[in-house]
Amino acid sequence: MDIRNIAIIAHVDHGKTTLVDKILHATKVFRENQETGDLIMDSNDLERERGITIFSKNAAVTYKDVKINVIDTPGHADFGGEVERVLKMADGVCLLVDAFEGPMPQTRFVLQKALQLNLRPIVIINKVDKPNCRPDEVHDAVFELFFNLDATEEQLDFPTYYGSGRNGWFNDSLTPCENINPLLDGILKHVPPPKVSEGTLQLQITSLDYSSFLGRIAVGRVSRGVIKENQPISLVQADGSIKKTRVKELYVFEGMGKKKVSEVIAGDLCAVVGIEGFNIGDTIADFENPEALPVISVDEPTMNMMFSINNSPFYGKDGKFVTSRHLRDRLMKETEKNLALRVVDSDGGDAFLVYGRGILHLGVLIETMRREGYELTVGQPQVIVKQIDGKKCEPYEVLVVDVPQEFASKVIDLVTRRKGEMLVMETKGEMQHLEFDIPSRGLIGLRTQMLTNTQGEAVMAHRFSEYKPWKGVIPGRNNGVLLAKENGSSTGYSLDKLQDRGSFFIDPGEEIYAGQIIGEHIKPGDLVVQITEGKKLTNMRASGSDAATNIAPKILLTLEECMEYIQHDECIEVTPNFIRMRKTILNEEERKKQAKSMKAEA
């Protein structure tokens, strides 16, 4: 049977998952009258809420008697670890580019990985129905990007398709057609069938699946040989050790699901059930003469955060899993399938240092854990510092901002204050396109300020570039915080009286504890306030003064915004129903003592 393996890669929001929807519909995976909704592949709750792809997924369709395995990949740089490993399963890539925005930082990152693996590219310029779109200029920009990434002659001769995923057409010219068949024909024509070398069985495990019924399932591509049901095999692990085991069941992808088969030939993707203790990157090889494939290498993490048990006065009120053993087991389970994540135990045993790709990468992990019923405390994100040639170095990123022209000066001012240097400034239609080189530390907390200063108009994207010498101190938050003085329930009376001191993160009637951050102070420096005071009632009433209090609504911060907001002496308490910010040391006297001793040491 003819097979094509393609991965769909693009910057975030350029239409990957919508394209996969159209491919599934065009190849009649669903019945005519079946209700499917949009973004079929984003099946996880978090993905649907945020409108982003987090985990790469597989689907398989049949078009003109050729089986096409489609791999949908995430677009955020924070999930680059997902993309890097699944590209190993593909022979060609569909690079999707927005007809207005053109190639963005993430496009560059993923394309570079694909070209290094020698995959055949097909360029799709999407959203040509948008106003202000410039498909011809974007085509030239994509060609330039290929050239800058040292593409081979063959890769530079890429076919280009134009269209609109939302309207359901793609063609090799700008004239609209009825469906996406020209694109599917192009995939059959330009993507080569899998290359199969002679020899014994080899299959590299590139992702994991889990079923409560079957346990852990290994997913990968058979690079040579044939794998059969009930066959004895060798599992070659990353450290070179070999385990002898047996395949229980085999599945291939079909439509959105899997189909059980008795054997899978080289070149196809499959899921293997019944192997114990495997990790991503391990090779399933011949029982007698095992030969390993090269281990998958993934870029290093650039950020870390301290995860510890929840030790606030509200400990255990909300979650099911609250002990350090629960926390450790869950984090270790995550490292099995999340290649870009690392976990290191700390001295006390109650806390773990978790290394990841960025704030979104770590934020999604915390959000997933709290939905599963975990309670934990997380500290401020820190960048990973290295000593290179005797110099202290930190990670730098390329930051790209598209913003209306009237806000460009504010953006430049914001970024340069955070030690960023401008590399490119050009006009794209009504927008100003800015590129900066900025330390990763400077990005923490930048998004919120950027959106405030540009009235929500700025579009930001960034990707890791390299380690460079330390840039010095970057100014943090300008204002201090308001802290609760004692445990209790906040009252409308107290909140009303304190409104001139700052803006609040809580509403009247919320349970709070001493040391909890309840608002932002109007000035620098922290302020401890009494928020649980009720109004003393008498039987005398003054006309007009007892009118209902006018309290401004509380400021709602998302988990990522809290992670960017807190400072080094603060942390976030995360439980299934609440996200609270607090001081690491809750007692005011203890905090003052520590501040004094730190000053004395300095």
Q: Determine if residue 17 is labeled as part of a ligand binding site.
A: yes
What Cα–Cα distance (Å) separates residue 570 from each residue in 319, 327, 512? 22, 20, 16
Q: Check if the beta carbon of residue 582 is closer than 8 Å to that of residue 570.
A: yes
Q: Give the pair of three-digit tokens for residue 277.
A: 């203790």
CA atoms of 424 and 398, how far apart (whole Å): 11
Residue 458 CB partners (closer than 8 Å, separation 6+): 401, 402, 403, 407, 411, 450, 451
* E strands in 313-430: 342-345, 351-356, 376-378, 382-383, 386-388, 391-404, 421-428
> Annotation-wise, does 18 bind a ligand?
yes
Q: Which distant-in-sequence residues (6+ apart) come within 8 Å of 72 by Cβ?
A: 8, 16, 17, 20, 41, 53, 56, 57, 58, 59
350 annotated as ligand-binding: no
In whole angstroms, give the CA distance from residue 440 to residue 105. Answer: 15
Phi, psi (rounded to 5 degrees) for 376 = -155, 165
- Say if residue 160 carries a ligand binding annotation: no
Residue 15 marked ligand-binding: yes
Report whether 129 belongs to an annotated binding site.
yes
Q: Measure the CA–CA gap between 272 and 208, rounded to whole angstroms.
A: 10
Euclidean distance between CA atoms 522 and 107, whole angstroms: 41
β-pairing, 66-72 vs 283-285, is unpaired
DSSP helix/strand/coil, 410: helix
Q: Which H or E run contains 60? A: strand 57-63
SS3 (DSSP) at 324: helix
Residue 5 to residue 280: CA distance in whole angstroms = 20
List all residues 6 or more positions away from 275 whose beta carbon is below 8 Å from its beta carbon.
216, 218, 233, 235, 245, 247, 284
Three-class DSSP category at 534: coil
Residue 14 labeled ligand binder: yes
126 is in an annotated binding site: yes
- In Å, how far are 118, 215, 358, 462 from 111, measured between CA atoms? 11, 34, 20, 15
Q: Are 12 and 103 in contact (CB under 8 A)?
A: no
With b for 16 or more beta-carbon neighbours within 10 A and e for fewer, the 399-437 pattern comes to bbbbbeeebbebbbebbeebbbeeeeeeeeeebbbbbbb
Neighbours of 335 (CB within 10 A): 16
Q: At what angle do helices 16-26 and 181-190 cross, to 10 degrees?
A: 100
How many beta carbons lie within 10 A of that of residue 216, not counting itself?
Answer: 16
Burial class (CB in 10 A: 0-12, 13-18, 19+), 107: buried
Placement of tokens 């398709």 in the chain: 161
Give the residue from 180, 147, 144 showing the smallest Cα distance to 162: 180
For the annotated binding site, the residues are: 13-18, 126-129
For the annotated binding site for GTP, the residues are: 13-18, 126-129
